[in-house]
A and B are shown apart, each in its own frame.
Chain A
Amino acid sequence: MYFGFEDITIQFGKKRVISGLSVDFPRGKITTVIGRNGCGKSSLLKAVFGAVTPLSGRAVFDGRPISAYKPKVLARRIAYLPQVYFVPPDIDVYTMVSYGRYPHSRFARGLTRADADVIERCVRLTGLTGMERRVISTLSGGERQRVRIAMTICQEPEMLVLDEPTTYLDISCQLDVLELVKRLNRDLGITIVMVLHDINMAARYSDYLYAIKSDSVCAGGTPSEIVTKRELAEIFRVEAEIHRDEKNDCPYFIPYKNNNNFEEQIK
């Protein structure tokens, strides 16, 4: 298994979020995890980096359990963009991106010339050239997200895990971020695993969609296999009208009234 979870169970207090789930993410592809609020998709990703401790089971990377890796060694191979983050208000773009070199740093040694080259390249790749000395707090939400992505690829990872990278961004910034993610995958061969809420965006930018249906069932497939009337009804309890986006060669859907039997419940 390249990257995935083996029989993993996650529990918060008495509430079981994920129970005995096994999933396997393909190498070199963009895979997006979708599911309803509170279905445990973010918790699943957090379990990789120790922010959530699974009750049982484990996360696996490149044939070995994640826990068998030294944190810095793992950080040179997998980068993670959490949803919640802190930025010291007066740090500039260059400094922020340079923190991505931490896993490559050695004891009591500063940034090397090679580090500076990587930073410079990551800044260019994310379209931040010329903004190196801008202070983070003066940037827009979309620019900030690009800085954070620049920091993660500064780790030179082979896999990038993103937890809802488009939340709170306007539509053009969302497209920016997802186009960038796609480019990282196509040009640099970075395996992408992310969580998205917008299924149409997910369908457009992903090779595979993994839908968490219940605490132990995860359905995986191409966007065309998952964005269907039946699957969407089952996962999100919505009725959907499926269309085809010819230009991007992917399905998209228009959601209709809730299939949750609201009327019956009210009566």
Chain B
Amino acid sequence: MTDISAAGAARPALDSRPKGPHIKKMTVIAVLAAASVLSVIVCVGIGTIRFTPGESLKALFVADDSTARLIVWNLRLPRVLSAAFVGVCLSLSGCILQGVMRNNLASPSTIGVTGGSSFIGYMTLVVFPSYYFLLPAGSIIGAFVTTMLIYMLAYKKGVSSVRMILSGLAVSALFGAFNDVIRTFFSERISNASGFLVGGLTGVTWDKFKLILPYALAGIFVCAFLPAKMNVLMLGDETANSLGLRTERFRFFLIAVSSLLAGAAIAVAGLISFVGLIVPHIARLLVGSNYKFLFPASIFLGVLLVVVCDTVGRVVLPPGEVPVSIILAFIGAPFFLYLLRTRRGE
């Protein structure tokens, strides 16, 4: 071994290295974390019957027979928590996909993963109508197959935006057509998967939430160990390989993790677009592209965005509901066009 480490005399204190920017980033993440917790507390109080945050907190933590407890705990909390998890899963999935494809326009919805995933989801419902619990597994497999497909179609030392978006478009259209066929001919068999059909969180119960919870938690847990490797992967395959990262294997693993996350979200909320695209972008603007900060920032931004948008959809046009996917599309589509315009060179 070359003795770079033994060459110097006095050991400089670790704290002597400049730390300023990190403190700023940590602060941003802490603020986002606080805001996302707050959004959950506030949003369970919003609806036809309103509760103050104090009342909501009491309803959340004190198990009594009050109406507040019934409404907040049994009706609204599963929905708000599902929204939070959907936000986290889609955001992380988008972050990972953007790394794998080395392209900032990648996300579950733009490359057609959402379409493929819901197709396999539909298929499981049609083929095994009485085994509703298979839906998340089906969605995850669908997400994985579609991502691999797009990756193989579009990857060539980094994905060209045009090729990726076009293949995503084609794959989305194809699966969309299949989905329409299934919806038309097997409508009674899939009628119990309401949220999955319309792309929203209407009527989400604790049962449904618990169905996707293990998959979502597993995916989020794995993400905690990814940042260092993701950062190395971003240096390009040659550099990453020479640093000892098996890039092909790691990419495959990342595609599996992002499919797990996206599939779990799609199983509960159906076709929700743009979360996986917008959140990583905003996170990058706030904390930069180091995955150590990008992941946590994306997690909390994902919670904020989907929880708030779902609550807005819930109350904006009483007595009806606007599915969260529509609210997100109103925000997301213009943002996506803006990105396409400004990032043309990539």
Contact = CB atoms under 8 A, between A and B. Distances in A.
B231 interface: yes
A120 B8 CA distance: 10
A49 B2 contact: no
Interface residues of B, number: 36
B246 to A, nearest CB: 6
Given A95-B290, A121-B7, A133-B20, A71 B238 contact: no
A87 B14 contact: no
Interface stretch (A102-110, A208-216, A222-230): A102-110
Interface string B282-313: 00000011100000000000000000000000
B317 interface: no
A71 B2 contact: no
Nearest to A130: B18
A68 interface: no
Contact of B236 (A50, A84, A102): A84
A198 interface: no
A256 interface: no
Given A82-B236, A116-B14, A133-B21, A102 B289 contact: no
A46 B238 contact: yes
A125 B4 contact: yes
B100 to A, nearest CB: 14
Contact of A117 (B1, B5, B237, B288): B5
Contacts of A86: 102, 158, 234-236, 239
Contact of A71 (B1, B244, B289): B244
Contacts, number: 114
B18 A94 contact: yes
Interface in A33-64: 46, 49-51
Contacts of B241: 49-51, 71
Nearest to A113: B14
User: What secondary structure prevails in chain B residues at the interface with A?
Assistant: loop
B40 to A, nearest CB: 28
A117 B224 CA distance: 26
A121 B8 contact: yes
Given A88-B234, A91-B288, A99-B235, A118 B244 contact: no
A103 B232 CA distance: 10
A78 B5 CA distance: 17
A40 to B, nearest CB: 17
Nearest to A122: B4
B242 interface: yes
Interface residues of A, number: 54
B243 A100 contact: yes
Given A99-B232, A132-B18, A156 B290 contact: no
A154 B225 CA distance: 22
Nearest to A152: B242
Nearest to B242: A80
A105 to B, nearest CB: 6
Name the residue among A76, A85, A88, A95 with the largest chain B CB count within 10 angstroms. Answer: A88
Contacts of B244: 70-76, 102-103
Contacts of B225: 107-108
A85 B237 contact: no
Of B5, B21, B244, chain A has the most CB atoms within 10 Å of the CB of B244
Given A49-B241, A80-B242, A188 B4 contact: yes
A89 B1 CA distance: 32
Contact of B1 (A125, A132, A156): A156
B243 A132 contact: no
B14, B238, B242 pick with most chain A CB within 10 angstroms: B242
Q: Which 4 A-B pairs have the closest CB atoms?
A: A75-B244, A72-B244, A80-B242, A82-B238
Interface of B: 1-5, 7-8, 11-12, 14, 17-18, 20-21, 102, 158, 224-225, 228, 231-232, 234-239, 241-246, 288-290
11 contacts: A82-B242, A84-B238, A86-B236, A88-B290, A91-B288, A113-B11, A122-B4, A153-B4, A156-B2, A156-B4, A189-B2
Given A49-B238, A132-B18, A188-B3, 13 more contacts: A49-B242, A75-B243, A78-B242, A82-B238, A85-B239, A90-B288, A99-B243, A100-B243, A102-B244, A117-B11, A133-B18, A133-B21, A188-B4
